[in-house]
Amino acid sequence: KNLDKGLSKTKQSVFQKLSRAVVGKSKVDDDVLDQLEEVLITSDVGVNTTLKIIERIEKRVSKDKYTSTTELNQILREEITGLLTETEHKDQNTWELPEGKKPYVIMIVGVNGVGKTTTIGKLAHKYKENGKKVIIGAADTFRAAAIDQLEIWSQRVDVPLIKQKMGSDPASVAYDTVASAQKQDTDVVIIDTAGRLHNKVNLMNELSKIKRVMQKVIPDAPHEILLILDGSTGQNAFEQAKQFTKATEITAMAITKLDGTAKGGVVIGVSDQLQVPVKYIGIGEKVEDLQIFNKTEFVDSLFS
Ligand code: GDP
């Protein structure tokens, strides 16, 4: 399966260590728990979430007199699944949109290099493939390269792009995009924004202006504020997520580049600590390498 392949590095270097940590042991003792803790931390689950998981397992293990390592595996799966938040979908594998929200407006936030442009291209492609009419707005006007790259992707997936020249007002681009979407009976609007975290006040002002201006056309826009994080940066991604949630409301996250990394555990930590659902995961550079996150499939894949 695609997902198994995408997560293979995390599986090999980390989650298979889990099995090794418990192999040959007939019961769950402190030694097993210590090893488990170490494996979770080295997989970038993060210290707080790891401690939470260990604590819960300790409770469950001491309740039962004797727990085999096979059962430990099952308990671990359950606890990890319980910590993950996914978005609610009628059907996880369809790209259906909520009713009464047309156009459905997705505002993209995240720092440069995390895979914003690629994820926008993939999203546009997926929605289009599922019969939706899509438009993209290049409201990251800070870098010319951002607009150019987005244009390449929009051509590749054959979806219109609204842009202005570099340095123009991002809110004006966003306005043009939603106005055009409304006129043309578009289903999905994807708005790119510049993620300059180092200037948080500017970032906050820029994002709130974009929102305000879009709301003149679509009063409940944006319907989704999607934070893109690079999973391969592990704890850095976690720090970015914390910073962004301080600067703006985030309704969902997309975690990219999980295919090239052993740090897939970051999905668990970020989801638990920020209480923001993971909605999409990126598992490759190609247009089809984006999936709607399904926590059961994710955990199954890690432990398979
Ligand atoms: P942006 O600066 O945030 O817009 O980042 P880009 O979308 O340009 O992506 C930066 C690099 O990451 C590019 O080389 C992409 O091909 C790569 N990339 C993006 N998403 C993924 C992913 O899920 N897996 C892999 N392996 N590479 C990715």
What is the number of the ligand 1 atom nearest to the C-alpha of 114?
3
* CA 118 to centroid of ligand 1, rounded, Å: 6
Residue 117 known to bind ligand: yes
Q: Are 135 and 175 in contact (CB under 8 A)?
A: no
Count of beta carbons in the 10 Å neighbourhood of residue 281: 25
Predicted structure pTM score: 0.94
Residues with CB under 6 A from ligand 1: 112-118, 149, 256-257, 259-260, 282-285, 289
Q: Whose CA is nearest to atom 28 of ligand 1?
A: 285
Q: Which residue has the tokens 């668990």?
A: 268
Tens digit of each residue's pLDDT (9 = 90 or more) over 47-101? 999 999 999 988 888 755 567 777 888 888 899 999 998 776 554 557 888 889 9
Question: Annotated binding residue at 192?
Answer: yes
At which residue do the structure tokens 């939603």 appear? Answer: 178
Token pair belonging to 94: 């369809």
Give residue 32 CA to ligand 1 midpoint distance, Å: 38
ipTM value, please give it. 0.99
Question: What six digits make up the tokens of 249?
Answer: 């409301």
pLDDT tens digits, 192-243: 999 888 888 899 999 999 999 999 999 999 999 999 999 999 999 999 999 9
Q: What is the dihedral of CA 287, 290, 228, 232, to 10 degrees?
A: -100
Q: Any alpha helices (H) in the chain, and if so which ranges? A: 2-6, 8-10, 16-22, 30-42, 47-63, 69-83, 116-129, 144-156, 170-183, 200-215, 235-247, 266-274, 295-303
Instruction: Round to whole Å and give the CA distance between 246 and 230.
Output: 18
One-letter amino acid for residue 175 of the chain: Y
> Which pLDDT belongs to residue 22?
66
Give the span between the Cα atoms of 128 and 93, in whole angstroms.
15
Residue 256 CA, closest ligand 1 atom number: 23
CA quadruple 96, 97, 98, 100: dihedral sign: negative
157 is in an annotated binding site: no
The encoded tokens of residue 63 equal 């309740």
Per-residue DSSP letter, 167: T
Whether 116 has a binding-site annotation, put simply, is: yes
